Each structure stands twice: as structure tokens, then as C-alpha cells.
Amino acid sequence: MKVAIVLSGCGVFDGAEIHESVLTMLALSCAGVPYQCMAPNINQAHVINHLTGQVTEGENRNVLVESARIARGEIIDIKNADSHDYAAVFFPGGFGAAKNLSDFAFKGSACQIQPDVLHFAKAMAAAKKPACYICISPTMIPRIYGQDAKLTIGNDQATAQAIEAMGGEHIDCPVQEFVVDAERKLVSTPAYMLAQNIAEAAAGIEAAVEATLAMIATEART
């Protein structure tokens, strides 16, 4: 029962949120579930100096190469990933999910998903395999699952309105909990959209991972 983890770079402001990524890996590892990290082989939208919060002019970084930092080098190009090989998929947050995996950070409800990411995510959805979206990454759900998909990013009103403009059904959710769309086998949790520290992020992520793995177990019994 191997699962996929889709990363979007390395660093909260321009890539995958490191705490969320590692907490997801830790929860899976503690449950005895092997995972494969993957990311698109594309340039980042931009590079942010995480000390100053400013864009670093003239610097380019690759999403797959940067994601390899978190994955300790054990990562593949999502373009080469076969959905048949995975029982579920996990999308940690960080602005990379909204800048590199999609362009939600720039275009809001008019956003599109990076083609290789969209192809893999839609293949998992078509196979009715469970998916867990964390933090800001649930903004991609309406583009993948269509109208009325239930999800949460916490309670940020502007983001929730953009999600609903895309056809999603946003549900307010506290940091330690998660929202389930049972019909689509979707789990989402706010993590650092609300978390004030790593312990709060961990509580919701661990619960969401457990719920996602329970869906796999249920599927295996049917």
C-alpha cells in the first residue's frame, strides 16, 4: 500500500511548507505506510528570500530539485508517476501549491493547475482513490473534482469565496479537525492556514492522514 506525496518546492513562501510535508511523512511512516514523493519538473513561479520575505530578482529554482531537499533525494518527476501504483495521494500546503502546482495565488478563482499535476490528480480521482489536501492545497480541488466538492482551508473568507466561485463547497473547520467528502474520498485540513505552531498543525495533519488511510482500508475490504 504505497501512497504518493506531491511536493511543490521547499519553503513556505515559494514551495512546499516544510513542517506540513514532514508531518505528513511522519504520520504515514508511523502508520507503516510507504510513500513516494513526487513533484513537477518545472521552474518555480519565483524565489522568495525567507529571511526578508522579498522576491529574489534574477534567481530561478526548479520545483523538482527543490522538493528533493525535503524528500532527501528520494523523489520522482510527477510526469512519470503512474496512478495505478498508489493507493492514495497527499498534497501538503505552502504557497508552492498555489504558485507552482497551480496559479491560485496569482489568479484566484480563474486559476489553472499545472498540467502534469492535473493529469495525475485526475487519474487518482477517476480511480476513486482517496486524496488528502492540506493547508492552501485544497484550492485545487474544484478544478480536479468539479462542482460541489466539499473541502476546507479553515475559515479565511476571501479564499473560501474564491473556492465557491470555482464550484467547490467550503466548510469552516478548526485547525485540529478535517473535512471529509465521502462521495469523492476527499480529506482536507487547515494546518498552517490556522495553526499558530507546529503542534497545532500536527494535530490536524495526523488526524487527516489517519482518516485517509481508513478510506484505503475500507476500500480494501470491499
pLDDT of residue 218: 82
Q: What pLDDT was estimated at residue 219?
A: 72
Report the C-alpha gap between 10 and 72 in whole angstroms: 12
- Per-residue model confidence (pLDDT) at position 221: 66
> From start to end of 117-207, where are the E strands?
131-134, 150-151, 169-170, 179-181, 186-189
Q: What is the pTM for the complete model shown?
A: 0.97
pLDDT of residue 68: 98
Evaluate whether 206 touches 214 at the Cβ level (below 8 Å). no
End-to-end CA, the chain: 16
DSSP for residue 91: E
Where along the chain do its domains lie? Answer: 3-221
Per the CB < 8 A criterion, the answer to whether 137 and 91 are in contact is yes
Grid cell for residue 135: 493547508
Write the CATH number of the domain with boundaries 3-221: 3.40.50.880
Please report, in tens digits, the pLDDT of each residue of the chain (222 residues total). 899 999 999 999 999 999 999 999 999 999 999 999 999 999 999 999 999 999 999 999 999 999 999 999 999 999 999 999 999 999 999 999 999 999 999 999 999 999 999 999 999 999 999 999 999 999 999 999 999 999 999 999 999 999 999 999 999 999 999 999 999 999 999 999 999 999 999 999 999 999 999 999 887 766
Annotation marks residue 173 as catalytic: no
pLDDT attached to residue 93? 98
Which one of 10, 111, 132, 135 is the catalytic residue? 135
Closest CA to 158 of 136, 191, 185, 179: 136
Confidence (pLDDT) at 11: 97
The answer for residues whose C-beta is within 8 angstroms of residue 42's C-beta and 6 or more apart is 62, 63, 64, 100, 114, 116
